[in-house]
Copies of this chain bind each other. A is one copy, B any other.
């Protein structure tokens, strides 16, 4: 195990600034090696020794979690996706969490995280399950892990302003996929909306009730698995008829375009194949200026 870590990694893993860490390295508190060019390289063992001697705890153990990038920050998208899939398959909460947080901290947007990380992972899990390569429990556990990571990400997003437009949504009847609708909530929250996901497998009647009671500016429907296209189409028609015409409805999912085609009345029913499209639609709908990921001045 010859894992060499950069000062930045060690600093974040033990929760101090990079400046302090470099100073401690220079003072000899942490054993440090140097590259020929003069960059510091720190062994995992040296970090452990430091923590034991100083009686400090690891703030983010997952950063030192070994195998993934061999001590290097993952740059390539493919490698990150590969690592995430492995972690999900093995049920490694910490590892998956680390990948998520690292990607987000590294500057990846919520939309990118959803379209380029979560969605591919879900597809691969589904494929592997159908091919019999993984057990059902592994797929369930992976969804559980992803849920928790996304919830944690949700806590990092800024709270909505009191004047933020309201968005409500969920998945239609017969669709038990909770993660896509959660991703939609995250994207809208990141766009400054007051977004609430009602969960999965919702009868159209209760969605209409929610729309009438809360009067959202936007209602989304995340349709991943279509059990009965005819019933879905009929439900949507009645849903549109029983809700205020001022409320826009966005449906998401690959097949939703065909299923719901022709139901639109005057640009009320919109379609987004992925989260990037959803984001464009949502920012177009917002009356106030959309400010993404900006901390509100308090």
Using A36-B29, A151-B151 as known contacts, say yes or no to A59 and B3 having CB atoms under 8 A apart.
Answer: yes
Closest to A196 in B: B91
CB of A48 to closest CB in B, whole Å: 12
Query: Do A27 and B36 touch (CB < 8 A)?
Result: yes
- Chain A residue total in the interface (Cβ 8 A): 59
- Pairs of residues from A and B, 5 with the lowest C-beta to C-beta distance, nearest first: A136-B206, A140-B199, A3-B59, A137-B206, A4-B15
30 A-B residue pairs with CB within 8 Å: A1-B155, A1-B156, A3-B59, A15-B41, A27-B36, A29-B36, A33-B55, A34-B54, A34-B55, A34-B56, A41-B56, A43-B57, A55-B298, A135-B213, A136-B202, A136-B203, A136-B205, A136-B206, A137-B170, A137-B207, A137-B209, A140-B198, A140-B200, A141-B196, A141-B198, A143-B199, A147-B151, A148-B154, A151-B151, A152-B155
Known: A141-B199, A144-B197. 15 other contacts (CB 8 A): A3-B15, A3-B59, A16-B35, A29-B36, A33-B57, A55-B298, A91-B196, A94-B159, A135-B213, A137-B198, A137-B202, A140-B170, A140-B198, A141-B196, A147-B151
